[in-house]
């Protein structure tokens, strides 16, 4: 708190005169209302100027926007007040505030005398005689009119600041307050006592204390000034007054101290997680309310009476903030798995209770569980996966099985449910509609004794007869109010990448399911950005990754530190195996990037689209994306379409020979189909598949051709027919339709007709062929048009190929990423075509 005092105009003679006049009980000349309001005006600093003359004092004030003055006249030993305001109480109050200013001035003069200084006022002060001797304050306001008591100051600390209490001590040891409890007005028996209280008030004001009715004394709240006062000012007070320091005052001597907290973790009676915070030195327990207050102050210090002026170290603030942000339960405790949110797998920064240490050791370094009865058909890595899930569930945790596609996540879950099965327990499986039949058929194959069925909106009573209910994401979204009324023993979300958008209704619906044990399955836990994984863990273990806002904020603030912490958080709860690691029996997979020439028709249209884009949007691709995103994306799509086949453009009518890709595909098919192989052809453009089919039918009129796109009503029929065919065949599949739920390992050649922004989508398509059950080497050809935007897309794919292993990517995978891959202008895309 800063203070600007009133302007003081006076002479030595006038000050001495008014010192004598104020030695009497001048407050008796005013009524209680005037005194109370006057003290308030004085404390608020609303007196602008006082002018002391021999016979009167002029007091100018500004209260709000109104300026007023009062004149205190001295005549025949009495004071008389007149004022510019018609409010008599206000006029008297201004006079009272002015007289209090004079008392403060007298106290200031006394301080200056103690310091051997000359009498001084404000910059505008007047002085009648520079060489006059110092003002004699032994008479007047400072004269002794009777036996005086000792003024005793008691210094104490409180969370709000430093408190200075004032008492009168009598010879018999009696102690009474020297200040009025209500407003801090002096309580004095004579002028000498009153003068000392005025001096105290002046000193307190100079040190920025303010009177606090709550404590009945002066309060200093600015903690940096508290430290300065104790170290530099308080010694002079101790020389002037009788003083006493409460025990906690000594802690302030060391200044602002950073304290480090160490967490102590234990299990609550209900089985939850309890975190208490102790000071690293002395193992003193920190009250939870105090911890919250320290955290709320950020880098600002706080006065803790038993510690002094303290603030948290940056490390402690991060740890405490993390605990507060993992959404603990209403009773203040959290879930056991949240221990990993805070400290990962290390224990160097947290003290664990004995039973909690045993719990974590059993989770991270388990003994083999020989009691599980598992399906005989399981491969060794699948048995390990079931044992891993069982261990987590047994330790009140939940799990994300993120095995690469084709490693049998479905059968692992079925084996787990069989091994844990108890009479009356029920499970719900949520998956894409196309995968619902797969789950039902897999249960029939591996666990025929389990009553499993498709959820079709039937009544809860009918659904209750099933051991396992399989429901599509779409139906879950529409029936969520009915389903949340039931509690399941197990909830399984398959293809968990479908809930990666935390704002989607299906994602929120999955998170609302009630189940004692929860499992998520996905081969691509992160497809585009770090937030992809948050909804899955929010379904599994709410709060473990913190709030969504915290998740985004921490990533934006420090991606590197965020990446390391995220790894530590999810590592105990996510199991990821690739085919190259565990499915050693799988044959080799060879991927070849196949460059395709651009025909003159393609080159002409590609150049025309680029030039029109330059004319419409300018050369800055980033600016165009920000200001006209939809039209810019449409432009990029046109470039991708013409790179495949000019016939895909709405205004074109082109022959098959005008597509360089179709001609290269034809050459490869002649080579492959002529030797008896089965092929799968993927594209994201369904119209391009139609053109490819037209070409294949013309070139191979007797070849069985099957097709699977988003509009195929019976997905199982073409897949089964292709798989069961004992002759050479071709399968045309859209990338979207290939994302989940089909097995095409009867093929051994794969053609990707157009590269997609996200390599995970292509990997999903390839894994439909290269998966468990495949007995032949698989050859994958990725076709791309030379000198087109597709070259840049391939570069994006290379940049993001290890997306999951690195946990996070720099930006969302998609057209926007062209900016980070070196494409800053439309002109550069045009230059590709011209150089190609």
Contacts of residues 458-462 at CB distance under 8 Å and 24 or more positions apart, as own/partner, are 460/485, 460/486
Cα 807 to chain center, whole Å? 18
Q: Which of 360, 389, 414 delimits the end of a domain? A: 360
Residue 579 pLDDT grade (very low, low, confident, very high; cuts 50, 70, 90):
confident
Residue 413 located in a structural domain: yes
pLDDT at residue 446 in the model: 92
Residue 399 located in a structural domain: yes
| Residue pair 342/263 in contact by the 8 Å Cβ criterion | yes
Q: Is the predicted pLDDT of residue 810 greater than 60, yes or no?
A: no
Residue 118 pLDDT grade (very low, low, confident, very high; cuts 50, 70, 90):
very low
**pLDDT, tens digit, 9 for 90 and up, residues 86-100:** 999 999 999 999 998
| Of 799, 399, 359, 372, the residue nearest 576 (C-alpha) | 399
Residue 137 located in a structural domain: no
Q: How far apart are the first and last CA of the chain?
A: 72
| Residue pair 761/572 in contact by the 8 Å Cβ criterion | no
Residue 313 and residue 454 in one domain: no
**pLDDT, tens digit, 9 for 90 and up, residues 597-641:** 899 999 999 988 888 888 887 767 667 777 777 887 888 889 999
| Residue pair 149/295 in contact by the 8 Å Cβ criterion | no
Q: What residue spans of 395-488 are helical by DSSP H?
A: 409-420, 436-446, 460-463, 473-483
Residue 531 and residue 600 in one domain: no
Give the CATH number of the domain where residue 577 resides.
Answer: 3.40.50.10810
What are the two backbone dihedrals, phi and then psi, of residue 111, each rounded to the nearest 5 degrees? -60, -40
Q: How far apart are CA 41 and CA 92, in angstroms?
A: 11
Listed range (133-147, 295-309, 561-575, 796-810) with the worst mean pLDDT: 133-147
CB atoms within 10 A of CB 546: 23
Q: Which of 204, 237, 254 delimits the end of a domain? A: 254
Residue 356 located in a structural domain: yes
**pLDDT, tens digit, 9 for 90 and up, residues 512-545:** 999 999 999 998 888 767 888 999 999 999 888 8
Residue 787 and residue 657 in one domain: yes
Residue 247 and residue 262 in one domain: no
The per-residue DSSP string of 227-253 comes to HHIIIIIHHHHHHHSEEEE-GGGGGGG
pLDDT at residue 313 in the model: 83
| Of 451, 446, 468, the residue nearest 376 (C-alpha) | 446
Share of the chain above pLDDT 90, in %: 33
Residue 123 located in a structural domain: no
Mean residue pLDDT of the chain comes to 82
Taking CA 342 as the corner, what is the angle to CA 337 and CA 343, rounded to the nearest 5 degrees? 95
pLDDT at residue 281 in the model: 52
Residue 803 located in a structural domain: yes
Residue 435 and residue 330 in one domain: no
Domain that holds residue 261: 256-360
pLDDT at residue 515 in the model: 94
Torsion angle in degrees (nearest 10) through CA of 109, 110, 115, 117? 30
Q: How far apart are CA 154 and CA 201, in angstroms?
A: 15
**pLDDT, tens digit, 9 for 90 and up, residues 721-764:** 999 988 899 999 998 777 666 889 899 999 999 988 777 778 88
Q: Is the predicted pLDDT of residue 828 greater than 70, yes or no?
A: no
Residue 179 and residue 213 in one domain: yes
Residue 245 and residue 269 in one domain: no
Residue 804 pLDDT grade (very low, low, confident, very high; cuts 50, 70, 90):
very low
Residue 132 located in a structural domain: no
Number of domains, the chain: 5
Residue 676 located in a structural domain: yes
Q: What is the arithmetic mean of pLDDT over 474-484?
A: 91
| Residue pair 49/124 in contact by the 8 Å Cβ criterion | no
Residue 429 and residue 517 in one domain: yes
Residue 564 and residue 645 in one domain: no
Q: List Cα–Cα distances, 699 to 221, 488, 722, 750, in angstroms.
A: 89, 55, 19, 19
Identify the residue whose tokens are 């302030």: 252
β-pair partners for 162 = 157, 220
| Of 29, 49, 21, the residue nearest 92 (C-alpha) | 29
Q: How far apart are CA 159 and CA 41, in angstroms?
A: 28
Residue 617 and residue 711 in one domain: yes
Listed range (223-237, 261-275, 280-294, 517-531) with the worst mean pLDDT: 280-294
**pLDDT, tens digit, 9 for 90 and up, residues 53-90:** 989 999 999 988 889 999 999 888 888 999 999 999 99
Share of the chain above pLDDT 70, in %: 84
pLDDT at residue 801 in the model: 53
Highest mean pLDDT among 177-181, 196-200, 338-342: 177-181
Residue 641 and residue 528 in one domain: no
Q: Is the predicted pLDDT of residue 141 greater than 70, yes or no?
A: no
**pLDDT, tens digit, 9 for 90 and up, residues 654-703:** 999 999 999 999 988 988 887 789 999 999 899 999 999 999 999 999 99
Q: Which of 254, 275, 293 delimits the end of a domain? A: 254
| Of 734, 794, 785, the residue nearest 764 (C-alpha) | 734
> In this structure, is the dihedral angle defined by the CA atoms of residues 588, 593, 599 and 604, taken in order, positive or negative?
positive
For residue 312, the SS3 value is strand
CB atoms within 10 A of CB 748: 20
pLDDT at residue 138 in the model: 35
Cα 3 to chain center, whole Å? 40
Residue 191 and residue 220 in one domain: yes
pLDDT at residue 284 in the model: 63
């Amino acid at each position: 708190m800063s203070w600007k005092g009133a302007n003081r105009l006076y002479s030595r003679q006038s000050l001495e005169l008014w010192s004598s006049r104020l030695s009497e009980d001048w407050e008796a000349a005013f009524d209680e209302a005037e005194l109370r309001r006057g003290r308030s005006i004085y404390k608020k600093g609303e007196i602008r100027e006082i002018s002391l003359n021999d016979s009167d004092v002029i007091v100018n004030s500004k209260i709000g926007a109104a300026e007023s003055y009062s004149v205190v006249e001295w005549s025949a030993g009495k004071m008389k007040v007149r004022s510019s305001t018609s409010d008599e109480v206000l006029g008297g109050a201004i006079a009272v505030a002015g007289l209090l200013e004079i008392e403060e001035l007298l106290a200031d003069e006394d301080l200056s005398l103690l310091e051997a200084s000359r009498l001084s006022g404000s910059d505008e002060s007047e002085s009648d005689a520079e060489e006059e001797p110092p003002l004699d304050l032994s008479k007047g306001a400072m004269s002794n009119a009777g036996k005086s008591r000792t003024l005793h100051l008691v210094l104490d600390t409180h969370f709000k600041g430093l408190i200075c209490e004032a008492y009168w001590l009598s010879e018999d040891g009696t102690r009474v307050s020297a200040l009025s409890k209500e407003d801090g007005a002096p309580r004095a028996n004579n002028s000498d006592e009153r003068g000392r209280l005025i001096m105290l008030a002046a000193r307190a004001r100079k040190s920025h204390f303010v009177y606090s009715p709550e404590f009945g004394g002066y309060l200093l709240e600015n903690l940096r000034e508290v430290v300065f006062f104790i170290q530099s000012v308080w010694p002079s007070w101790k020389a002037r007054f009788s003083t006493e320091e409460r025990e906690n005052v000594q802690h302030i001597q060391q200044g602002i101290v950073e304290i480090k907290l160490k967490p102590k973790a234990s299990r609550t009676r209900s089985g939850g997680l309890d975190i208490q915070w102790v000071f690293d030195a002395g193992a003193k327990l920190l009250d939870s309310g105090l911890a919250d207050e320290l955290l709320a102050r950020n880098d600002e210090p706080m006065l803790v009476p038993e510690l002094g002026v303290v603030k948290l170290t940056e490390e402690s603030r991060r740890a405490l903030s993390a605990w507060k942000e993992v959404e603990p339960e209403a009773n203040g405790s959290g879930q056991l798995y949240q221990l990993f949110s805070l400290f990962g797998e290390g224990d160097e920064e947290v003290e664990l209770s004995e039973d909690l240490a045993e719990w974590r050791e059993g989770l991270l370094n388990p003994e083999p569980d020989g009691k599980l009865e598992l399906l005989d058909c399981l491969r060794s890595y699948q048995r390990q996966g079931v044992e891993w899930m069982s261990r987590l569930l047994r330790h009140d945790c939940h799990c994300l099985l993120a095995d690469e596609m084709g490693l049998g996540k479905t059968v692992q879950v079925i084996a787990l449910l069989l091994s844990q099965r108890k009479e009356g327990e029920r499970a719900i499986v949520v998956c894409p509609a196309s995968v619902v039949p797969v789950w039902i058929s897999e249960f029939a194959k591996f666990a025929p004794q389990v009553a499993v069925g498709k959820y079709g909106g039937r009544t809860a009573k009918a659904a209750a007869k099933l051991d396992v209910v399989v429901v599509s994401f779409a139906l879950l979204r529409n029936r969520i109010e009915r389903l949340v009324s039931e509690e399941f023993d197990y909830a399984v979300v398959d293809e968990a990448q479908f809930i990666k958008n935390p704002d989607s209704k299906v994602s929120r619906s999955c998170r609302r399911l009630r189940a004692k044990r929860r499992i998520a399955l996905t081969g691509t836990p992160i497809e585009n950005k770090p937030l992809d994984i948050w909804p899955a863990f929010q379904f599994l273990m709410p709060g473990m990754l913190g709030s969504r806002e915290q998740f985004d904020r921490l990533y934006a603030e420090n991606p590197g530190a965020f990446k390391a912490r995220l790894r530590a958080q999810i590592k105990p709860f996510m199991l990821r195996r690739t085919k190259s690691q565990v499915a050693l029996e799988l044959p080799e997979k060879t991927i070849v990037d196949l460059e395709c020439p651009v025909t003159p028709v393609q080159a002409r249209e590609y150049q025309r689209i680029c030039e029109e884009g330059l004319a419409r949007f300018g050369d800055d691709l980033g600016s165009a994306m920000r200001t006209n995103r939809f039209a810019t994306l449409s432009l990029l799509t046109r470039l991708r379409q013409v790179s495949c086949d000019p016939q895909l453009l709405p205004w074109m009518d082109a022959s098959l020979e005008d597509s360089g890709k179709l001609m290269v595909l034809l050459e490869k098919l002649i080579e492959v189909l002529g030797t008896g192989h089965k092929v799968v052809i993927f594209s994201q453009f369904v119209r391009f598949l139609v053109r490819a089919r037209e070409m294949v039918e013309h070139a191979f009129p007797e070849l069985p051709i099957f097709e699977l796109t988003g509009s195929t009503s019976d997905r199982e029929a073409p897949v089964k027919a292709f798989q069961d065919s004992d002759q050479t065949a071709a399968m045309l599949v859209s990338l979207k339709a290939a994302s989940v739920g089909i097995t095409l390992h009867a093929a051994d050649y794969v053609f990707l007709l157009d590269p997609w922004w996200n390599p995970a989508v292509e990997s999903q398509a390839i894994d439909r062929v290269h998966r468990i059950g495949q007995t032949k080497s698989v050859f994958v050809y990725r076709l791309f048009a030379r000198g087109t935007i597709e070259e840049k897309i391939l570069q994006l794919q290379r940049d993001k190929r290890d997306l999951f292993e690195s946990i996070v990517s720099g930006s969302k995978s998609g057209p926007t990423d062209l900016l980070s891959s070196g494409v800053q202008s439309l002109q550069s895309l045009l230059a590709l075509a011209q150089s190609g």
